[in-house]
A and B are shown apart, each in its own frame.
Chain A
Amino acid sequence: MPSTDFLTVELTEIPDVEEALNPTEVVGFYRDTRECAALALQSGAGNLLLSPPTPRPKKG
């Protein structure tokens, strides 16, 4: 038996390669306020898209 034949046999027994190559996107959850603050600090000037939106004036 050629020296690498066993590899084919072995590898067919590892079924999750395709799944590992193309995993579905897992349902996520959003960051908490502390992490927002940490990221805002890292962004320096605060002009990061990750920053919270600018407050708008209240109507009336």
Chain B
Amino acid sequence: MEQSSTSTPLTGAVQGLASELASALRSGGRFRLAAGIPDVHGAEANAGLALAAVRVVGADAVLPSVLRRAPAEADDLALFGRAVHIYPPAADASPVSVWSHWAMKQTLRRLDAPSGGGSDRAAEAGPEAEPQVAWLADVPWQVLTHQLALLAPLAVPEADCAVADVARDRPVDVARGFVRAVRRRDWLQAAGAGRWLVLLDGVPATLGLGAGLEFVAHMGGDDPRVALQVEAARHLQAGARP
């Protein structure tokens, strides 16, 4: 499947952020989230768009720090926290949106902890109960893979949440979904599913996950969102070494 061709300012901002993140992961270079964000006092619309993009990219917006287990800069965390604060899930938000927001808060809390806490960021991102996961537990494997791919930012080495538990319980279903996504040319879903599979035990060896991920990168890597997921998967495969 070709990725959606619908282009909006938000889509462009998300692609731009994903591109910078993928590049940083690929090169091992430094990534500064705040560096690409306009001065909030000088370019309000652009700043708003950039924050929306951070919310859409979710916890992956600080993925280099997470994977390298490196502290994030204070202004990066402030920006990340601002996106968390400004975009709480609405009352009728999808479970994916709720979990994405929860993951951002958990990530913020984890990254903010080494700084000694005490900031408003840490306060607003304190521990909180996980959202419910019943919506995901018994869905068909096709739906499971679609939802997990949307929640790929939860697939990190320290993943310890109910969504990750569901994924761990159904490695063969996720593998099947990965294959389906590739066959449908849904490179973004395939990359997200592949990222989960890297973390799962019990994935059939016959899947050829490594070759499959390379194929996804080859076919879909022009989309920065796909490239970001593939780079994340590669880091996870390598043990997230810096």
Contacts and interface: CB of A to CB of B under 8 A. Distances in A.
Contact of B56 (A6, A13, A17, A25): A17
Interface residues of B, number: 49
Contact of A7 (B4, B58, B86): B86
Nearest to A20: B56
A42 B93 CA distance: 41
B10 A16 contact: yes
B86 A50 contact: no
Given A14-B10, A28-B184, A29-B1, A48 B212 contact: yes
Interface in B12-69: 14, 40-41, 44-45, 47-49, 51-52, 55-56, 58
B65 to A, nearest CB: 22
A16 B44 CA distance: 18
Contacts of A23: 4, 150
B215 A28 contact: no
Binding site of A, secondary structure by majority: helix, strand, loop or mixed?
loop
Given A11-B52, A38-B218, 13 more contacts: A7-B44, A10-B45, A16-B8, A21-B58, A21-B150, A22-B94, A22-B97, A28-B184, A29-B184, A31-B185, A39-B215, A42-B215, A49-B175
Query: Would you list the 4 A-B pairs with minimal beta carbon distance, nearest first?
Result: A28-B184, A10-B48, A28-B1, A48-B208
Interface of B: 1, 4, 8-11, 14, 40-41, 44-45, 47-49, 51-52, 55-56, 58, 82, 86-87, 90, 93-94, 96-97, 100, 146, 150, 175-176, 179, 182-186, 189, 204, 206-208, 211-212, 214-215, 218-219
